[in-house]
Structure 1
Amino acid sequence: MLALRSLAFNLCFYAATAVIALGGLPALVSRRTVLGIARTWGRTTIWLLRHVAGIRVEFRGLENIPPGPLLVAAKHQSALETLALCVVFPEFAYILKRELLFIPVVGWHLSRGGMVAIDRSKGTRAMGLMNAAAADAIARGRQLIIFPEGTRRPVGAPPVYKQGLSHLYGALGVPCLPVALNTGLFWPRRGFVRRPGTAVIEFLPPIPAGMPRAAFQAEILERIEAASNALVEVGRAELAARGHAIPEPAREASRTA
């Protein structure tokens, strides 16, 4: 049953993605309409998760989101949060790898939506170019979303937070909103199965601008990891009560890059 339900969701999700991406091509006339298409994709995915896969996406702490330009630092376990965060922030901009802009159709949307792309081939210049593009997005009143670990991490893996987040925090002079979650329990990275349950995305109290970079890096890691670990424990208990297999924590060394 779980395999059939997962298959049904995956087929519906990729079909919806193709329809939205292709049907949204006329919307490439402006950034605002592209962001609207992204929100449609996010809402459609959340609906499919609920009604096909049996996964309810719950947003907590929405009252902690300050108005205006903002740096958003989110734990990254799944594709789910990439889509779900589009629904929450009116002027979102993701920090992403430049290679994603070359994906047909999807890359066109990312480029027209004003995402901040990192060109890793630039070496040491990449950080300065990212800071400049990020500052431009903040000046336009946007919410800049970054995954501090750079890529999806397995549930239970020790954190590997990059220095790019603290560079941006120091350069932009805006609050940083930490985001904790347990989404990888229900939509695991590189996995086919979608486990029914409650996937939680929690917005924690923002960290004001102006902290020393080293102190900020330690603070953001502690906040996100503590809250995410608590959510994962609750999610594991829910999965156990439903009789589903629970992924074992990954065994890796923890470090801050």
Structure 2
Amino acid sequence: MDRADMNGVRTALFALIFYPGSAIFAILGMLAAPFSERVVQRIAYGWAAFHRACAAHILRIRVVLEGERPAGQVIYALRHESFFEAIELPRLLGNNPVPFAKAELSRIPFWGRAARAYGMVFVERTQGATALRTMAKAAREYKKTGRDFAIFPEGTRVPVGTAPPLRSGFAGIYKLMNLPVVPVAVDSGHVYRTKPKRSGTITYRFGEVIPPGLDRAEVEARVHAAINALNPQDQRVGVSPSSSSLPGLPDR
């Protein structure tokens, strides 16, 4: 059996184990939701750990971490090449990070209720200013808990080797939260977004901490450069934010 065929077998086995297992975690989270936020957060961590184990032992994907996570409350701004890093957030970042997510995710059966209990900032992207006010109120409440935040500033999954501009809403969140930003480069797409998935290495590179209070152009330029640090040098392009007024949201 050649490598392509082996990848196909591993991908099929991964699907047979991971997706039914994920359904169990979602149901457990939904059942725990009315009673304990802490239990839901532990279930979320367990799901992320289960995913990492499936990726490691079935898909033969190795994860490498470069750089360090700082002490204190921060916003993590991650490049988004595949679902891998979205699932990984509780395990990768610790401290039960609060993700910013599109509201459609909250309506997924079982998972949506568990996600609300875990603590996510959902945004109705069609509601404009009303959505922003709702998001800001929720984010301020979570900030009081000391939990970190996580955002995908490109707003959707991006193709391998590209460096699209950041969504303009990232700068709004940066200003609203008044927290340092830690940019995180990720190169998951070349193994996890392919059909079939491939064995190989995924690297997370934590960049230098970016302090609060910078102007929009500077913070966007620094985040853009850092999250694309694993791209070839000639594929890093300048920042030209879109006109969207809403934050970058993971496209699941």
TM-score, L = length of structure 1: 0.84
Correspondence for 2:60 among 54, 58, 80? 54
CA distance in 2, matches of 1:102, 1:218: 34
The one-letter code matched in structure 2 to 1:22 is I
Deviations 1:97-146 (A, max 9, x none): 11111111000111111200001232133223322222221121111111
Verify the 8 A CA contact 1:91 1:141 in the aligned structure 2: no
Query: Could you say what secondary structure the match of 1:73 adopts?
Result: strand
The SS at the match of 1:228 is coil
2:78 alignment partner AA:
A
Q: Does 1:150 align with 2:155?
A: yes
**Equivalent in 82, 87, 93 of residue 83 of structure 1:** 87
Contact 1:81 1:201 in 2 (8 A): no
Give the 3-state SS of the residue equivalent to 1:186 in structure 2. helix
Deviation, structure 1 residue 224: 1.4
Q: Are residue 212 (structure 1) and residue 215 (structure 2) matched? A: yes
User: Can you list the C-alpha shifts for 1:49-102, whole angstroms capped at 9, x where unaligned?
Assistant: 1111111122222x3x22232111000001100111210221211100111111
1:166 to 158, 166, 171: 171
Aligned partner of 1:85: which letter?
L
2:75 is equivalent to residue 74 of structure 1: no
Q: For 2:96 and 2:50, locate their aligned partners in 1 and report how far apart those are by CA, in whole Å.
A: 19
- Distance in 1, matches of 2:158 and 2:49, equals 24
Pick from 100, 115, 118 the counterpart of residue 105 of structure 2: 100
1:23 deviation in Å? 3.1
1:44 partner letter: F
Report the structure, 1 or 2, having the larger helix content.
Answer: 1
Query: Cα offset for 1:254?
Result: 7.7
Unaligned runs of 5+ in 1: 234-248
Counterpart in 2 of 1:40? Answer: 46
SS of the counterpart of 2:230? Answer: helix
Alignment of 1:120-199 (within 5 A): 120-188=125-193, 191-199=194-202
- Give the CA deviation at 1:255: 3.9
- Give the whole-Å Cα distance in 1 for the aligned partners of 2:59 and 2:221: 37
Closer/same/farther in 2, CA of residues 196 and 112 from structure 1, 3 Å limit: same
Aligned to 2:36: 30
CA distance in structure 2 between the partners assigned to 1:187 and 1:104 by the alignment: 25
The answer to whether the 8 A contact 1:97-1:118 is kept is yes
Contact 2:32 2:39 in 1 (8 A): yes
Q: Is the Cα–Cα contact under 8 Å of residues 70 and 138 in structure 1 kept in the other structure? A: no
1:198-254 deviation line (CA, Å, top 9, x unaligned): 1111211210111112211111111211x1315x99xxxxxxxxxxxxxxx9xxx98
How many positions carry a matched residue from both structures? 234
Offset at residue 160 of structure 1 (A): 2.7
For residues 226-245 of structure 1, the aligned pairs below 5 Å read 227-229=229-231
The verdict on how the C-alpha distance between 1:162 and 1:117 changes in structure 2, with shifts beyond 3 A counting, is: same
